[in-house]
Amino acid sequence: MRVQSVDQLFLHGLTYVYDAEKQLTEALPKMAEAAENPQLRQAFEQHLSETKEHVGRSEEIFKRMNQQPQANPNAILKQMRQEAEQMIQNTDQGPVRDAALIVAGNQVEHFEMACWGSLRTFAKLLGKEDVADIIQKTLDEEKQADAKLTQIGEQQVNIQALHKSASASAGAR
């Protein structure tokens, strides 16, 4: 479909973010399972619950726009998922893996914030304040998830990973 208007651009973007949220409902349980830190595991599990709500909100937005929910394959998120899965496979369980999971989670959150932020702007331009409000709630949750991951990394996991790395380096000498 050739996009020729802001409302078409909005719907086009919505199909991609809808797919991204659906992909995350599959990826987040794997990330939670791979995490050793209990707070990190809980953060992924909480965000999984929110992500399921994001899927539902996306469907509500389609309905308000008089459209059937449609997911266009989101190659960017697919690549991010593959990177996270490779990181899980290439690290031992522990703080170094947890640090890598936080990086992967932050990358996804920033991508989602960009997508939802653009959609909110388009919804406002189109005079769809009700839709913009739904999007804002999702955007706020994405920002909170990002901040939570950053906090866990900065206050716990990254320091633990550094100590683990130093111990591994000392043992290799």
pLDDT digits (tens, 9 = 90+) for 94-120: 999 999 999 999 999 999 999 999 999
- 69: which 2 tokens? 């929910």
- 112: which 2 tokens? 């989602």
**So where are the chain's domains?**
6-168
The structure's pTM equals 0.92
Q: What is the pLDDT of residues 21-67, one digit of tens each?
A: 999 999 999 999 999 999 999 999 999 999 999 999 999 999 999 99
**Among 123, 129, 156, 152, which Cα is nearest to 47's?**
152
Q: How far apart are CA 104 and CA 99, in angstroms?
A: 9
Which pLDDT value is given to residue 171?
A: 59
- Class of the 6-168 domain? mainly alpha
- 78: which 2 tokens? 């697919």
**Among 149, 125, 144, which Cα is nearest to 53's?**
144
